[in-house]
């Protein structure tokens, strides 16, 4: 029975993350990490690392849809992508080096700052 619940929870969690990512053009990781951690019971470090693999194909599908619908500025892609790849490599290294409680604190700070930024002009 317990494994059946996990089998059901996994695709439902994926649908939630995919919907948030598609709706907001990213940010699915902000949902994926807490979902993997609290709903599916994985450690924070595993949840952060797994979220990257979950978000990559979802982001690709959303990106194709945005390009088709004209929501795309080509001159931004290369410089932002370079920064994104370099930042991703640095973040992955830090995830491996920092203690889990520090990762959790940093994640909460980033989520809080993003929320405040969206509310304030």
Half-sphere exposure of 28 (CA within 13 A, CB side): 26
Instruction: With beta carbons less than 8 A apart as the criterion, state whether 47 and 32 touch.
Output: yes
Backbone dihedral region for residue 25 (phi beyond 0: left; psi -120 to 50: alpha; all else: beta): left
pTM equals 0.67
Average pLDDT over the chain reads: 85
Reported confidence tier of residue 4, pLDDT bands at 50, 70, 90: confident
Percent of the chain with pLDDT over 90: 20
pLDDT for res 82: 93
* R_g of the chain computed on alpha carbons: 16
Query: Has residue 90 got a pLDDT over 90?
Result: yes
Q: What is the tens place of the pLDDT at every residue in 10-62?
A: 888 888 887 877 777 666 678 888 888 888 888 988 988 888 887 788 778 87
pLDDT for res 7: 83
pLDDT for res 1: 65
Instruction: With beta carbons less than 8 A apart as the criterion, state whether 35 and 13 touch.
Output: yes
Angle at 100 between CA 82 and CA 60, to 5 degrees: 35
More confident position, 92 or 25: 92
């Amino acid at each position: 029975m317990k494994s059946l619940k996990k089998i059901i929870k996994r695709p439902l969690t994926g649908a939630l993350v995919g919907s948030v990512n598609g709706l907001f053009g990213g940010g699915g990781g902000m949902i994926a990490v807490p979902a993997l951690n609290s709903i599916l019971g994985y450690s924070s470090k595993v949840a952060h690392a797994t979220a990257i693999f979950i978000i990559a194909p979802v982001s690709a599908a959303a990106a194709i849809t945005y390009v088709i619908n004209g929501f795309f500025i080509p001159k931004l892609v290369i410089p932002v992508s370079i920064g994104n790849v370099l930042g991703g490599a640095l973040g992955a290294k830090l995830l491996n080096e920092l203690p889990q409680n520090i990762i959790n604190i940093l994640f909460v700070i980033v989520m809080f700052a993003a929320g405040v930024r969206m509310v304030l002009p």
